[in-house]
């Protein structure tokens, strides 16, 4: 297929477009429910309001793609390239985003509840303000200078995560799994937030939250909870 192909509002339910070059394609409002888009090339494509529920987008190239208001609930995006993609108000409920590249993606208003982001690359300074990250799997993820102000991380799994200079002001950590997480260099973490989450002896805390009288280069482990 040619670059810039026009499929606006097309019905491509369950279509096999794997390994296809659809650079700059117009798929605005297209029905791609359960479509096979494995390793498809879609840089700069217009996928606004497209139905991509449960589509196979593993290793797809979606660099700079416009996915505003697209529905990717349950989609398979493992190893997908979403660098600089526009994901504003995109539905990614329960999507598989393991090892996906989301560096510089616009995530304002993105719906990520239940998504699997293990090993995903969110880049430095990820803007995750006020996002609903309920039950999101962020095990082992590195968050460098991420902005999580006001984010809802209820029951999110952040076990083993490394957060450096990450802003947690107003974030809801109730029921979040912080076991083994390195929180030594996070900003604005409060005792109230910590007490609402699950920590263990391997959780590393900022010095301001160390138990009274403790010290050490690595910081003491957090008291065990839940």
Residue 128 has pLDDT above 80, yes or no: yes
Residue 99 has pLDDT above 80, yes or no: yes
147 sits in which H/E element: none
pLDDT at 63: 98
pLDDT average, residue stretch 43-54: 98
pLDDT at 170: 97
202: nearest Cα among 218, 187, 186: 218
46: nearest Cα among 3, 101, 80, 110: 3
pLDDT at 224: 56
Q: How many CB atoms lie within 10 A of CB 103?
A: 17
- Which one has a higher pLDDT value, 226 or 77? 77
Q: What is the pLDDT of residues 148-162, one digit of tens each?
A: 999 999 999 999 999
| 184 in Cβ contact with 204 (< 8 Å) | yes
DSSP states of 24-74: T-B-TT-B-TT-B-TT-B-TT-B-TT-B-TT-B-TT-B-TT-B-TT-B-TT
Can you count the helices (H) and strands (E) in the chain?
1, 3
pLDDT average, residue stretch 183-192: 96
Q: Confidence class of residue 225 from pLDDT cuts 50, 70 and 90? A: low
From its phi and psi, is residue 128 left (phi > 0), alpha (psi between -120 and 50) or beta? alpha
Q: What is the mean pLDDT of the chain?
A: 92
Structure tokens at 84: 């600089």
pLDDT at 214: 45
71: nearest Cα among 35, 99, 116, 118: 35
Q: List CB contacts of 55: < 8 A, sequence separation 6 or more.
A: 32, 33, 34, 35, 36, 37, 72, 75, 76
């Amino acid at each position: 297929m040619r670059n810039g192909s026009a499929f606006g509002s097309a019905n491509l339910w369950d279509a096999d477009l794997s390994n296809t070059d659809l650079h700059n394609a117009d798929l605005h409002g297209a029905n791609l429910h359960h479509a096979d888009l494995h390793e498809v090339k879609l840089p700069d494509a217009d996928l606004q309001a497209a139905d991509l529920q449960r589509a196979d987008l593993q290793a797809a190239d979606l660099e700079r793609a416009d996915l505003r208001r697209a529905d990717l609930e349950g989609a398979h995006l493992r190893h997908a390239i979403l660098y600089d993609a526009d994901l504003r108000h995109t539905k990614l409920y329960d999507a598989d985003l393991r090892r996906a590249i989301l560096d510089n993606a616009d995530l304002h208003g993105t719906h990520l509840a239940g998504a699997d982001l293990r090993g995903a690359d969110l880049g430095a300074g990820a803007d995750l303000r006020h996002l609903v990250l309920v039950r999101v799997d962020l095990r082992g993820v590195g968050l460098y200078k991420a902005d999580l102000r006001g984010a809802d991380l209820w029951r999110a799994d952040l076990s083993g995560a490394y957060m450096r200079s990450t802003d947690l002001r107003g974030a809801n950590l109730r029921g979040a799994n912080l076991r083994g997480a390195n929180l030594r260099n996070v900003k604005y973490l409060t005792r109230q937030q910590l007490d609402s989450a699950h920590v263990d002896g391997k959780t590393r805390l900022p010095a301001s939250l160390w138990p009274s009288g403790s010290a050490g280069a690595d910081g003491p482990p957090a008291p065990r909870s839940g």
